[in-house]
């Protein structure tokens, strides 16, 4: 397991891998990655990128369930400490219970639930604060855990699509379409979302 900056060589290796195109988009726009290789091929990646230190992880199917995700995340946390990063942000699908539990154990704080559209469904937005600055940001972002705040979040994402690559290391072209009406009519507080999946 190693931390790497996103250079030409790593980009080339990632492009020839079997990771999902959405995940690759994040990796290619990131500040740095934790990667794991098996027989010279990348099998697991955790990224950090954008102004909001967006964080995500993907492991090839045949290597899942072996604790690799937790190791990659821990490596990222060590690197964040070295680089004096104040916080990490991320999203996870409520349907991925393993991911939800892993993130919560590591100290990620669920901020709010967001509905994209009928096809994409909902995601939980989370933050892992390391410093006072991160804690203050976490408190501020809870404004999106109310209906009007969630609407303004949807609107801001919709309007800032061209700049998302710099904000969250994710190209606006790849982002799921936001259905504002669907998003607001299905609003639920993050506590409700979590209570439905964690017993």
81: helix, strand or coil: helix
pTM of the predicted structure, to 2 decimals: 0.90
- Residue 102: pLDDT band (50, 70, 90) is confident
- Look at residue 71 in the predicted model and tell me its pLDDT: 93
When pLDDT is averaged across residues 99-125 and rounded to a whole number, the result is 91
- Which segment, 7-11, 96-100, 171-175, 187-191, is predicted with the most confidence on average? 187-191
- Look at residue 99 in the predicted model and tell me its pLDDT: 81
- What residues contact residue 41 under an 8 Å CB cut-off, 6+ apart? 13, 17
For residue 174, give both structure tokens: 């790849």
Is the pLDDT score of 34 beyond 70? Answer: yes
129-179 pLDDT tens trace: 999 999 999 999 999 999 999 999 999 988 888 888 888 887 667 677 889
**Which one has a higher pLDDT value, 20 or 33?**
33
| Largest CA-CA distance found in the chain, in angstroms, rounded | 50
When pLDDT is averaged across residues 78-97 and rounded to a whole number, the result is 94
When pLDDT is averaged across residues 8-28 and rounded to a whole number, the result is 90
Q: How far is it, in rounded angstroms, from Cα 69 to Cα 36?
A: 10
Q: How far is it, in rounded angstroms, from Cα 162 to Cα 90?
A: 20
Domains of the chain: 1-85 (3.40.630.30), 86-199 (no CATH)
Q: List strands edge to edge, sheet with 54-59.
A: 2-5, 32-38, 41-49, 54-59, 87-92, 122-129, 109-115
- What residues contact residue 46 under an 8 Å CB cut-off, 6+ apart? 33, 34, 55, 56, 57, 69, 72, 73, 75, 76
127: helix, strand or coil: strand
Residues 24, 18 contacting (CB under 8 angstroms) = no
Show contacts of 83-86: CB within 8 Å, 24+ apart.
83/32, 85/48, 85/53, 85/130, 86/53, 86/129, 86/130, 86/131, 86/133, 86/134, 86/137
């Amino acid at each position: 397991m190693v931390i790497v900056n996103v250079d030409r060589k790593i980009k080339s290796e990632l492009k020839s891998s079997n990771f999902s195109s959405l995940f690759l988009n994040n990796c290619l726009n990131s500040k740095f990655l934790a990667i794991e290789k098996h027989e010279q091929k990348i099998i697991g990646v955790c990224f950090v990128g954008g102004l909001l230190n967006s964080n995500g992880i993907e492991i090839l199917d045949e290597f899942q369930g072996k604790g690799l995700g937790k190791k990659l995340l821990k490596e990222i946390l060590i690197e964040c400490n070295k680089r004096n990063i104040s916080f990490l942000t991320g999203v996870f699908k409520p349907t991925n219970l393993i991911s939800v539990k892993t993130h919560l154990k590591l100290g990620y704080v669920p901020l709010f639930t967001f509905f994209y559209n009928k096809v994409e469904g909902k995601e939980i937005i989370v933050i892992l604060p390391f410093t006072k600055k991160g804690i203050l940001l976490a408190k501020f972002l809870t404004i999106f855990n109310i209906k009007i705040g969630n609407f303004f979040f949807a609107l801001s994402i919709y309007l800032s699509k061209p700049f998302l690559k710099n904000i969250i290391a994710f190209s606006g072209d790849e982002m799921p379409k936001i259905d504002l009406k669907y998003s607001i009519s299905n609003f639920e507080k993050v506590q409700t979302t979590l209570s439905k999946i964690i017993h």
